[in-house]
Amino acid sequence: MRIALAQNNYIVGDVQYNLNLIKNSVQKAEEAGADIVVFSELALSGYPPEDLLLRPDLFGLIEGALSDLQQLNSNVAMVIGHPRQEGGKTYNSASLIHKGALLLCYDKQLLPNYSVFDEKRYFTPANDCPVVNFKGVNVSILICEDLWFTEPAQVAKLAGAELILSPNASPYYYGKAPVRGEEMSRRARENSIPVIYVNQVGGQDELIFDGCSSAYDSSGDCVFTAAEMSEDFACVDFDKATNHLSALQPSSKQWDDEEEIWQALVLGVKDYVGKNGFPGALLGLSGGIDSAVTLAVAVDALGKEKVNAVMMPFKYTSSMSIEDAKEEAEALGIDFDIISIEPIYDAFIQQMSGQLEGTELDTTEQNIQARCRGTILMGLSNKFGRLVLTTGNKSEVAVGYCTLYGDMAGGFDVLKDVSKTMVYKLAKYRNTISQVIPERVITRPPSAELAPDQKDEDNLPPYDILDGILEAYVEHDSSISDIVALGYDEDVVRRVIRLVDINEHKRRQAPPGIRISARAFGRDRRYPITSGFGRQFK
């Protein structure tokens, strides 16, 4: 039996677009001589459809698409992921269709309801595991979470399954691929059943789906892995007599470390801009490390013709920053403008002079600078339709080292889940491809340049210390005592945690951004804005 793995980049809610992708893959499967082609979880609706699942008209579109696929009357069987409703309940389902007939409809048993998942909000779990004989092979379907636990695969084995086909929508975070691969390998090895794992690929709002669809032999060996961060199509052969899978092509290259994160960010920007119909992107280019990395990601994702940047200097902006911003823009070949904010800032201050009289300079004036820049960028966005990319990293967003309606003004934050220390690593990685970030941008002390001789470390702990504390508190929910036990100064830990806690209101107003960690701000980490929890640990 020849099984095709169709790894596609779907658009949530665009059933017709997704149907066309599926039809194209069916055609490829026919040309490749496949007996069956497997698509990813909820392929027809895209994943995650969220509250679109509460709309009856979505299901009308899904039913029409399933009917269309049955009318293909293809010799190639299709495993199609889709939502379905029956008896007032909604299921996460996969249908096996062959020559116009529905051979099997499987409903997902285990519904994830943690991290970025909230499937129990929408779906009803099933409790059976049907097996169908297709061309002499007993085939079972298990969907995504079903394979992360032992029981569903064991039940399939007891029901006589000889091959498991698994549609998936498994979101990416750095380090997940080997964990996921080990789980799939374990299920195959535990039951001596080959597993065909098909994941979707692409960016969906904050989530990245990395693809990496795979085939695991009955011994648990991975015999094939599809492309990472891009669409792919491949076939494997199953020999029932030997219970063995064999790949028809070599596995695709898998990215490593910073290269993998870079490709995830590129995919996230490309799909957010493209799927939402923006003609391009723009950003404020400060001459600092964050905007330099954001610019390079944007150009790699969209091409230089679709990206432009603006340097908006003030009297505190160093000549070095202006020079470096120009060099970055020239290296990447983008349109670049310089617009001074001094007259705009002066006008603001003059208009408020009566109210500000007798007060000392503080962060108020610094934030007005940032808001002048935000207003310029949003004005250009309104005029030319390009999406404003903000440049705040996870370290800054965590502790509120950013300005509401200033540098936080925009539509998408590329580095929202990237720590400052990782930003530096990404800059060094990108320069190994081509030199687009000046070396002194990487080596000089970071500064917002909102005050004379300002340095980030005037307000924050050194980033290597800050990021270690943030990882423990934000990503692992460690307590103060746990973090201090790691070797951090208690006063510094308490200060950082307080900053994280009191700035939840800022994060709620921040633009969405790409998730690359196992615990990102946004749909992943959901804390109340109004909370007295931290007061108990003073």
Q: CA 378, CA 374: separation in Å to the nearest integer?
A: 6
Instruction: Say if residues 38 and 167 touch (Cβ distance below 8 Å).
Output: yes
In this structure, the strands spanning 207-210 and 201-204 are antiparallel
Judge residue 168's burial from the number of C-beta atoms within 10 Å of its C-beta, 0-12 exposed, 13-18 middle, 19 or more buried.
buried
286 is in an annotated binding site: yes
Instruction: Say if residues 389 and 283 touch (Cβ distance below 8 Å).
Output: yes
Q: CA 153, CA 163: separation in Å to the nearest integer?
A: 10
197 is in an annotated binding site: no
284 is in an annotated binding site: yes
108 is catalytic: yes
455 is in an annotated binding site: no
- Which letter does DSSP use for residue 68 in this model? H
In this structure, the strands spanning 36-38 and 2-7 are parallel
Q: CA 367, CA 389: separation in Å to the nearest integer?
A: 19
Q: CA 33, CA 26: separation in Å to the nearest integer?
A: 11
261 is in an annotated binding site: no
326 is in an annotated binding site: no
Catalytic residue among 105, 108, 235, 258: 108
Classify residue 100 as left (phi > 0), alpha (psi -120 to 50) or beta. left
391 is in an annotated binding site: yes
41 is catalytic: yes
385 is in an annotated binding site: no
- Nearest residue to 395 (alpha-carbon basis) of 492, 469, 449, 458: 469
285 is in an annotated binding site: yes
213 is in an annotated binding site: no
Q: CA 314, CA 90: separation in Å to the nearest integer?
A: 56
287 is in an annotated binding site: yes
Kindly provide the residue ranges of all beta strands, DSSP E only, lying in 391-435, ordered along the sequence: 412-413
Instruction: Say if residues 52 and 82 touch (Cβ distance below 8 Å).
Output: no
375 is in an annotated binding site: no
Q: Which residues, in sequence order, are bridge partners of residue 211?
A: 228
Catalytic residue among 41, 260, 328, 449: 41
308 is in an annotated binding site: no
Q: CA 391, CA 310: separation in Å to the nearest integer?
A: 13
Residues 6 or more apart whose Cβ sits within 8 Å of residue 102: 70, 95, 96
140 is in an annotated binding site: no
At residue 94, the 3 state secondary structure works out as strand
Catalytic residue among 105, 119, 129, 144: 144
202 is in an annotated binding site: no
The DSSP-derived string for 335-403 is EEEE---HHHHHHHHHHTHHHHTTPPP-HHHHHHHHHHHHHHHHHHHHHH-PEEEE---HHHHHHT-S-
Binding site for L-glutamine: what residues are annotated?
A: 114, 170, 176
Binding site for ATP: what residues are annotated?
A: 284-291, 391
Catalytic residues: 41, 108, 144
Binding site for deamido-NAD(+): what residues are annotated?
A: 367, 396, 506
Binding site: what residues are annotated?
A: 114, 170, 176, 284-291, 367, 391, 396, 506
